Amino acid sequence: MSETKPSEPSLTVLGIETSCDETAAAVVTGEGRILANLILSQLDEHRPYGGVVPEIAARSHLDHIDRLVGEAMEQAGLAFADLDGVAVTAGPGLIGGVFVGVMTAKAIALAWELPFLAVNHLEGHALTARLGAALDFPYLLLLVSGGHCQLLAVEGVGRYRHLGGTIDDAVGEAFDKTAKLLGLGYPGGPAVERAATEGDPEAFGLPRPMLGRPGLDFSFSGLKTAVRHAAQGAGLLDNPEGDPQRRADLAAAFQAAVGDVLAERCTKALALFAERYAKAGPLVVAGGVAANRHLRARLDAVAASAGTRLLAPPPALCTDNAAMIAWAGVERLRLGLTDPLDFAARPRWPLEDLAARAAASPG
């Protein structure tokens, strides 16, 4: 099924994102123009702990969200009365942070009598490739981030068919844990990628979990354990004075192992997608890990071999941001999929649960 953008008057939506450790606000139009896209990072606040501390994240969101929303509206050159809706990440995520964003969006919607759009954070990632681009449904999506690793057939707004997912850890978490083991710094994904550019990916023999097995599921727990054992054997574990070349080699070996697994799973998924939907792709990759250049290159080759193309949002739209939430709000508002002001923030919210809401669409 193909869904094209309607020729109705343009919509303008404010988006708010507070699901993890970025406080973000954006204004996006129905034509895909980003009028404002502001992100306040909390990296310095969480770096001493080597990861996100939920209580610190929620407090920071509370301290900054009102100012950031005001600055986004000022940058867009709009008043709240000019908006057609307010979209916010309502889950999944760290519930304290999600709650801050949801209550802010509800207050704006109530005060200005605007439609309220409770957006699933994963749907924000899933639809980002359509932001300002010509991309029809259906398409194959690899969603890879710190908390998620899934293969999905995106059949429409709110319509997602789960093809495979991780049975343990997400790939982004594996990057973060590897960076921490090797003392590469935080955030882990970019740190591993930087180190890997100086390393030999064949210097360590790491496993490729699930490679060649039936189905489309992933597993990265065993790979993390293998990295720990390799680091210990090379004298790198918790040793900042360890050989920097060996550290780079292990980072490169880990990244190559992840690339092999993602490439093999996506090759199988594209074949299944072509059989089920009678079209070859395209393959869309989204989420924070999609910013990794090595992995993009691997997946680009996979798509080309399958006779299709790889589509990925710009790196700035791969990591958590409010533009993707505003855009998902635009997509939902077009279909009349608004939400009541008593909608509750959710720490867990599988994409498959959106099907009932999509069924209410007039399309």
User: How many domains is the chain partitioned into structurally?
Assistant: 2
Q: What are the CA-CA distances from residue 214 to residues 210, 217, 226, 269 (Å)?
A: 8, 8, 23, 11
pLDDT digits (tens, 9 = 90+) for 170-198: 999 999 999 999 999 888 999 999 999 99
Q: 159 and 120: one domain?
A: no
Give the pLDDT band (50/70/90) at residue 51. Answer: low
Q: How many CB atoms lie within 10 A of CB 202?
A: 10
Q: What are phi and psi of 321, to 5 degrees?
A: -155, 165
Confidence of residue 46 (pLDDT cuts 50, 70, 90): low
Which structure tokens are listed for 48? 């001493």
On whether residue 274 sits in a domain, the answer given is yes
pLDDT at 2: 35
114 and 155 in a single domain? The answer is no
Q: Say if residue 16's pLDDT is above 50.
A: yes
Query: Structural domain of residue 39, as residue ranges?
Result: 12-131+316-359
171 and 272 housed in the same domain: yes
- Look at residue 3 in the predicted model and tell me its pLDDT: 40
322 versus 42: which is more confidently predicted? 322
Q: Can you give the C-alpha Rg of the chain in angstroms?
A: 21
CATH of the domain at 49: 3.30.420.40
Task: Indicate if 296 and 344 belong to the same structural domain.
Answer: no
125 and 155 co-located in one domain: no
The reported pLDDT for the residue numbered 363 is 41
Across the chain, mean pLDDT equals: 91
pTM beyond 0.85, yes or no? yes
The Cα–Cα gap between 98 and 72 comes to 19
Q: How many CB atoms lie within 10 A of CB 66?
A: 13
Is pLDDT above 90 for 27?
A: yes
Query: Once rounded to an integer, what is the mean pLDDT over residues 203-232?
Result: 96
Question: What per-residue confidence (pLDDT) applies to 328?
Answer: 98
226 in the same domain as 197: yes
Q: Are residues 164 and 307 in the same domain?
A: yes
What average pLDDT does range 67-76 have in this prediction?
98
pLDDT at 45: 67
Q: pLDDT at residue 144 above 80?
A: yes
- Kindly provide the residue ranges of all beta strands, DSSP E only, lying in the chain, ordered along the sequence: 12-17, 22-29, 34-41, 85-91, 116-120, 139-144, 149-156, 159-165, 283-286, 310-311
Within this chain, do residues 254 and 346 fall inside the same structural domain, yes or no?
no
pLDDT digits (tens, 9 = 90+) for 148-173: 899 999 999 999 999 999 999 999 99
pLDDT score of 6 more than 50 = no
Q: Are residues 67 and 177 in the same domain?
A: no
